[in-house]
Structure 1
Amino acid sequence: MRNGTVRRRRTSALVVAILLLGPLLTGCSTVQSAAAWNDPRHPVAGGDATGSGPAPLWTGPGQVQAKGSAESTTGRTPAYDISSLLQPSKKYLGVEINGAPDSMAPAEQFASWVGAKPNIIGQYLAWGTSFDTTAASNAWSYGALDFVVWEPWNTTLAKIASGASDSYIESFATAVRALNVPIAMSFGHEFNGNWYPWGTTGTTPAQFVAAWQHIHKLFAAEGATNVIWIWDPNDIDAVPDVQLKQYYPGDAYVDWVGVTGYWTQDGPSTYGSLYLPTLEEIREFTEKPFIIAETSVEAGSDESASLTELFDAVKQHSDILGFVWYDFDKGGDWRIENRPSLLSQFQSDVASGGFGLVVKPTS
């Protein structure tokens, strides 16, 4: 999420400002970025190995366990089997909200507002920051996936692909594997836009693909197959001339396709105009399931209709697994809690069916 409500209204001056101030504005949440940047609270690895116990290793597409045979013979707890989470029977209701999941109080407050527990909790993490084991543990204990939106500030995709960050990536992957709870993760989100340095103005599609594949391979080599990999372009309405296929790492490296798209008062106002063109283009090269990885509804006369369109899109399409609600006052007030009428509608839409997925097994 960028400052401002309509992405295509970005001026060149604002793009330059973001490039200069990137590390200070990491992610959509300024609070999260300030907390994440070189935060000493985040150890490289921590926590006891937990998860699915003796369940078999997941070796589906993109989740090959490179060190599986060694782990099975040395007694190491198998990597958490994420297969049941990839195609769930119910929908995901996610949230990005200030302070979570380092603290679960904001997520619990959100649950009290909307009448359902979120089962995905997003956070923005700057490149160079250690894996936040506290956040991931908190989310999992609550019954949710920690969704790490990993942002490559202060580097380049070419450097990442060349191996310049290998020690950092390996330590991150080692920490993910050691904690051994499932997490969701995207890298370089909204790469098809020109508002981030890893986007179209600063990199090539080949560099993005090479960096993504390199990171994924390093995670596999560390046995960190407990990750759901989310490839997350912005909806193409804002950037219609950028072809998405050239940025796709391949089915072996992606579990979900995440689409970022906001319901604004002067932009696309229906599923058919906001999401469908993007989904149709993506369907030309992959059948991976979708998740709306970042969204909200702008306040105004169309907010009720927009919220209806959002919920209907998720409920009516089996290949859309759910959505992640951006509950911040940034670049506009996107919060649900201070709009009583819209909140009541949100509660009804959640209760009317499809949501309520139990992420964490009870036994």
Structure 2
Amino acid sequence: MAIPRRRSRSRPTVAVILLVAVSFLAAACGGGSGGGSGGGGDAKADPTGAPAAHYRVSSSLLDPSGRALGVVDDKTPWQYGIVDTFTKEAGRSPDIREYYGSWGEDFDAEGNAFLWKHGQLPMMAMVPDDTPLADIAAGKDDAYIRRLAGQIASYDGPLALSFAGEMNGPWNSWGPEHTKAADFVAAWKHLHDVFDAQGVTNVIWVWTPHVVDSGTTAKLRPYYPGDDYVDWVGLIGYYGPIDGVAFSSLFTPTLREIARFSDKPVLIAETGVAQSAQKEADIRDLFQGAAKAGVIGLVWYDQRKNWPGSKQLMDWRISTSVGARAAFQVEKARNKFGHSFKNG
């Protein structure tokens, strides 16, 4: 359920300007390296001018032992109301706070640091908007990618990054009928390679297709960049009148298809249960099915929103009824959803 935004190219943030200035002064004085946090080790000066990431994603983050619980909406990291609301409704604060970002926008290092400080792993779903993936793959936006890499590296914490999610959805300009799968893979690899060249070590790369159903029939294997370019597999799917009403039909077929070419940890990166007479039963089915499938977590869309491509208003919120809220709280506890990434 990607939320498109207007494409904008904003100026570098104050944090980035200060980072560049400090790097320049350190180089002019022959400055030494400083100790990094988060297991990153000492950061050595790079003669190419690549930014040094202070935080290095650990193996316990890449392959977490527990099941995380998250929340997603289109608000910025600073808009913390969604976290407070989710905490009250779910009976537990979220472990992941996912939000949307548009290609061309600057990364909010301070906002993401705020989330990480308050116990949420930030997850940014980057939407390419009207930018052709073939142009990204060809290097036409490399100046922006390098700037973005520097901004993310300056944030002293981990970031789960999903680029061009629901790439198998025909409703997206980067999906089937609009963009070749090969262009998606090439753009993903190019973005990843530029980040690597810039010394970015604090990103968890999340490949995020929509579940395969009647509206997304494209095979997923051609869209997969390869295990060297992916850390987590994310899945997007909703219980409702269009996507499905059971984990076995909504997620299981896609999980089986992905298992044929990847064994990376799976996160349900965006999900929700629409208001209906069976919402309580669907919530139980979601948590039980996800736990049985061995996912590393699920991220809930706790909003009212029109179904993409239609005027049908759907209510995904936990609090649509006392029963729905109770079912959510009971099932997330019973199936052990709740994992602090700060503690590994």
For the aligned pair, the TM-score class normalised by the smaller chain equals 0.7 to 0.9
5+ residue gaps, structure 1, are 3-24, 27-32, 58-66
Aligned to 1:109: 85
Q: Supply the AA of the counterpart residue of 2:162.
A: S
Structure 2: how far apart are the matches of 1:51 and 1:359?
22
1:55 aligns with 2:39: yes
Deviates most, 339-348 or 226-235: 339-348
The structure 2 residue matched to 1:88, chosen from 40, 59, 64, is 64
Aligned to 1:352: 334
Trace 1:1-363 onto structure 2 (pairs within 5 A).
1=1, 26=4, 33=5, 37=8, 45=16, 53=37, 55-56=39-40, 78-97=54-73, 99-239=75-215, 241-265=217-241, 267-318=243-294, 320-331=295-306, 332-361=314-343
Q: Supply the AA of the counterpart residue of 1:292.
A: I
Structure 1: how far apart are the matches of 2:185 and 2:329?
39
Structure 1: how far apart are the matches of 2:235 and 2:269?
6
Structure 1: how far apart are the matches of 2:244 and 2:123?
26
Structure 1: how far apart are the matches of 2:275 and 2:67?
25
Aligned to 1:14: none
Structure 1: how far apart are the matches of 2:336 and 2:202?
25
After superposition, what is the alpha-carbon deviation per residue over 1:108-136, rounded to whole angstroms, capped at 9, x for unaligned? 22112211110111111111101122331
For the residue of structure 1 that corresponds to 2:296, the secondary structure is strand
Structure 1: how far apart are the matches of 2:168 and 2:340?
33
> CA contact under 8 A between 2:132 and 2:174: conserved in structure 1?
yes
Structure 2: how far apart are the matches of 1:51 and 1:361?
21
Aligned to 2:30: none
Inter-CA distance 45–238: structure 2 relative to 1 (3 Å threshold): farther
Structure 2: how far apart are the matches of 1:354 and 1:56?
30
Structure 2: how far apart are the matches of 1:341 and 1:349?
12
Q: Supply the AA of the counterpart residue of 1:330.
A: K
Structure 1: how far apart are the matches of 2:99 and 2:38?
30
Shift of 1:333: 1.6
Q: Indicate the percent of aligned positions where both proteins have the same amino acid.
A: 36
Structure 2: how far apart are the matches of 1:210 and 1:126?
19
How high is the TM-score relative to the length of structure 1? 0.81
Q: Tell me which stretches of 4 or more aligned residues in structure 1 moved more than 6 Å.
A: 46-52
5+ residue gaps, structure 2, are 23-33, 47-51, 307-313
Shift of 1:77: 6.6
Inter-CA distance 37–138: structure 2 relative to 1 (3 Å threshold): farther
Inter-CA distance 46–270: structure 2 relative to 1 (3 Å threshold): farther
Inter-CA distance 282–184: structure 2 relative to 1 (3 Å threshold): same
Structure 2: how far apart are the matches of 1:292 and 1:102?
24
Structure 2: how far apart are the matches of 1:314 and 1:160?
35
> CA contact under 8 A between 1:93 and 1:324: conserved in structure 2?
yes
How high is the TM-score relative to the length of structure 2? 0.85
- Pairs aligned (count): 321
Deviates most, 252-261 or 81-90: 81-90
For the residue of structure 1 that corresponds to 2:89, the secondary structure is helix
> CA contact under 8 A between 1:149 and 1:187: conserved in structure 2?
yes
After superposition, what is the alpha-carbon deviation per residue over 1:12-49, rounded to whole angstroms, capped at 9, x for unaligned? xxxxxxxxxxxxx52xxxxxx47x95567955737989
Structure 1: how far apart are the matches of 2:17 and 2:159?
15
Aligned to 2:310: none
Inter-CA distance 155–233: structure 2 relative to 1 (3 Å threshold): same
Aligned to 1:9: none
After superposition, what is the alpha-carbon deviation per residue over 1:240-265, rounded to whole angstroms, capped at 9, x for unaligned? 53111011000000001111000014
> CA contact under 8 A between 1:104 and 1:138: conserved in structure 2?
no
Q: Supply the AA of the counterpart residue of 2:250.
A: L
> CA contact under 8 A between 1:43 and 1:133: conserved in structure 2?
no
> CA contact under 8 A between 1:82 and 1:182: conserved in structure 2?
no
Inter-CA distance 47–259: structure 2 relative to 1 (3 Å threshold): farther
For the residue of structure 2 that corresponds to 1:337, the secondary structure is helix
Structure 2: how far apart are the matches of 1:44 and 1:199?
35
Cα RMSD after superposing both structures: 2.9
Aligned to 1:19: none
Inter-CA distance 236–358: structure 2 relative to 1 (3 Å threshold): same
For the residue of structure 2 that corresponds to 1:224, the secondary structure is coil
For the residue of structure 1 that corresponds to 2:235, the secondary structure is strand
Aligned to 1:22: none
Deviates most, 77-86 or 238-247: 77-86
Structure 2: how far apart are the matches of 1:349 and 1:42?
42
